[in-house]
Amino acid sequence: MEILAGSISAGLLIGMVFALVALGLTIVFGVMDIVNFAHGEFLMIGMYTALLTSQATGMDPLLTLPVAGVVGYLLGVACYTGFVKYLLRGPMAAQLLGTFGLMLVLRNLALLFFGSEDRTIHKGILVNRSIELFMGVRVPVT
């Protein structure tokens, strides 16, 4: 029962992350009419920034999220002013192919710098914590 509850909570947590990414993508497309295939890669870079900042400073990963937000913002502004702004002058196919190419570049740069092995957070206020739901079923927070 505990394994099932843990699997359900993990699925709900990753579903919430996907919902936030989809919401951001919807806002970008709805407001600016930009089809951005590299949207997920900006999230990946923000996550790596939070992880590396946490490891370098020894701070809790939740406290490094503002740093990740600033880095993500600066990367987004740099990509827009240096690349996407020029794609908007062309047809929609140029946006699709250009942001798809940007996605491939960012993904492969991350693979080059960080490798393909999994990374985990080993310390923080939420690591190794759990919540008891009912009848002794404990669900991990992370």
pLDDT of residue 135: 67
Least trusted range by pLDDT, from 5-9, 28-32, 128-132? 128-132
pLDDT above 80: residue 137: no
Which residues lie closer than 8 Å to 66 by C-beta, 6 or more apart? none
Domain extent at residue 91: 2-140
Query: What does pLDDT average to over the chain?
Result: 85
pLDDT above 80: residue 36: yes
pLDDT above 80: residue 52: yes
CA distance 82 to 45: 18
The total number of structural domains in the chain stands at 1
CA distance 80 to 88: 10
**pLDDT band for position 97 (cuts 50, 70, 90):** very high
pTM of the model: 0.75
